[in-house]
Copies of this chain bind each other. A is one copy, B any other.
Amino acid sequence: MTYCIGIKLDTGLVFASDSRTHAGVDNFARFCKMTVFERAGDRVIALLSSGNLAGTQAVISVLKQRNAKDDAPNLWRAESMFDAAMLVADAMRDVDRRDGQHLAASAISFNASFILGGQIAGEAPRLFRIYTQGNFIEASLETPYFQTGETKYGKPIIDRVITRSTCLNDAAKCVLVSFDSTMCSNLSVGMPIDLICYQSDSFEVRMRRRFDEGDAYFSALGKQWTEGTRQVFSRLPNLDW
């Protein structure tokens, strides 16, 4: 499984992804699920991967190969994040065309999906959720975040804290608590966690951290959160039967 989240705030974007992949409990591994395409002063595009690893890696390799060629549309030449989302979808459909029938023969389907966000000079930051079929939706004022993978354990804290006006630092902390809640309750999501905060109009990634097992900040955050919520809990009014 996987847990990825992308959030669009008034002041920028937050992205985070776990690193656990598995095909059964006796076959798990660590792979980074966050890919960033960055050209300082011009664009920052972040892509978070969910689904079958062969599929997501193939899509990213196709995107990178296309980026290296100047004679066809690619992420470096996209004029908008909408165009970037269509390029990701095109790559997904190309991989599906090649692999889909072979997967189908084993009753498997191409199931890669992505959270895509960033900013290209000339427009505001944008955030998309691209489905396995290559169609996609864009974050709005009402729904400023997208999750993929093992989304449920970490959703209540996001729903209680995040609004469009939350600052980048608070959103980053909230995302880390959301990962902590998920990993406490589910083994299929695992460290390291990759985290990026992108400040609007900066056109470069200035805040990026990887949190691995035993990370002092992440451990302190989880401990303080648990203790704090227990205290809140102890002050809740008693039930009158």
- Point out residues on A near B: beta carbons under 8 Å: 152-157, 159-161, 169-170, 172-174, 176-177, 181-182, 184-186, 197, 206-209, 217, 220-221, 224-226, 228-241
Q: Are B160 and A209 in contact (CB under 8 A)?
A: no
Cα A234 to Cα B185 with chains together (Å): 24
**A105 shortest CB reach to chain B, Å:** 23
Report Cα–Cα, A226/B160, bound state, in Å: 6
Q: Check if A185 sits within 8 Å of B155, measured CB to CB.
A: yes
Query: Which residue among A152, A169, A184, A237 has the maximum number of chain B CB atoms within 10 Å of its CB?
Result: A152
User: Could you list some 9 contacts between A and B, CB below 8 A?
Assistant: A152-B185, A160-B226, A169-B238, A170-B233, A170-B234, A176-B239, A206-B241, A217-B240, A228-B235
Residues of B within 8 A of A155 (CB): 153, 185
Q: Tell me whether B160 and A184 are in contact (CB under 8 A).
A: yes
Partner of A233, one of B156, B174, B185, B237: B174
Report the separation of the CA atoms of residues A180 and B97 in the bound assembly, to the nearest whole angstrom.
44
A160 touches B217 (CB 8 A): no
Partner of A156, one of B156, B170, B234: B156
Known contacts A155-B153, A156-B181; A237/B209 CB under 8 A: no
The smallest C-beta distance from A35 to any residue of chain B, in angstroms, reads 20
Contact partner of A228 among B170, B208, B217, B232, CB < 8 A?
A: B232
CB contacts (< 8 Å) of A234 on chain B: these are 170
CA distance A185 to B145 in the complex (A): 13
Closest to A208 in B: B241
CA distance A240 to B169 in the complex (A): 10
Other A-B contacts than A172-B239, A225-B236, A228-B229, 10 sampled, CB-CB below 8 A, are: A152-B152, A156-B181, A160-B226, A160-B229, A161-B229, A177-B233, A207-B241, A217-B239, A228-B235, A231-B232
Question: In the bound complex, how far is the Cα of B227 from the Cα of A237, in angstroms?
Answer: 14
CA A233 to CA B175, docked complex, whole Å: 11
